[in-house]
C-alpha cells in the first residue's frame, strides 16, 4: 500500500468516513473429509453480524458421503430476539424436503 493511500484511509477513519463494513463482521469456513470407499463429505458455513443494527445472518451446507445434502439459511436481530429461515434436505435421488424456521426468545 502506498503512503498516500495509507494516509487517505487514516484520514477517512478519523473523519468518520470509513465504509460501513467496518461495523460488520463476516466469517466463513469450509471443510472436506475423506470417507471409506473413496467417498468424501464436504461442507461450509458463513456467518455475518452487523454491530450497528444488531442483525445477523447464517448460511450453511453439508454434503455427506451418501450424497445427501443438508442446508440452512436464516437471519435475525439481537434486539428483537427473533430468527427466521429455512432448512432443507436433498436426497441423492433429487427429492427435497424444506422446513421453515421461526424462533423467538420470548
Quote the Cα angle for 18-57-54, to 5°.
55
Q: Spell 13-35 as b/e; 16+ CB within 10 A means b.
A: eeeeeeeeeeeeeeeeeeeeeee
Cα end-to-end span (Å), the chain = 49
The three three-digit cell numbers of residue 90, written as one number: 436433498
Residue scoring higher pLDDT (102 or 9): 102
Is a pLDDT exceeding 60 seen at residue 22? Answer: no
What is the tens place of the pLDDT at every residue in 62-78? 998 888 999 999 999 88
**Whether this model's pTM surpasses 0.75:** no
Amino acid at each position: 500500500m502506498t503512503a498516500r493511500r495509507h494516509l487517505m484511509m487514516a484520514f477517512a477513519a478519523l473523519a468518520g468516513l470509513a465504509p460501513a463494513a467496518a461495523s460488520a463482521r463476516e466469517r466463513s469456513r469450509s471443510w472436506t473429509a475423506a470417507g471409506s470407499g473413496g467417498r468424501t463429505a464436504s461442507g461450509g458455513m458463513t456467518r455475518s453480524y452487523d454491530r450497528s443494527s444488531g442483525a445477523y445472518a447464517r448460511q450453511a451446507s453439508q454434503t455427506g458421503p451418501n450424497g445427501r445434502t443438508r442446508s440452512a439459511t436464516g437471519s435475525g436481530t439481537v434486539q428483537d430476539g427473533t430468527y427466521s429461515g429455512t432448512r432443507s434436505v436433498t436426497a441423492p435421488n433429487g427429492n427435497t424436503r424444506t422446513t421453515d424456521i421461526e424462533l423467538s426468545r420470548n
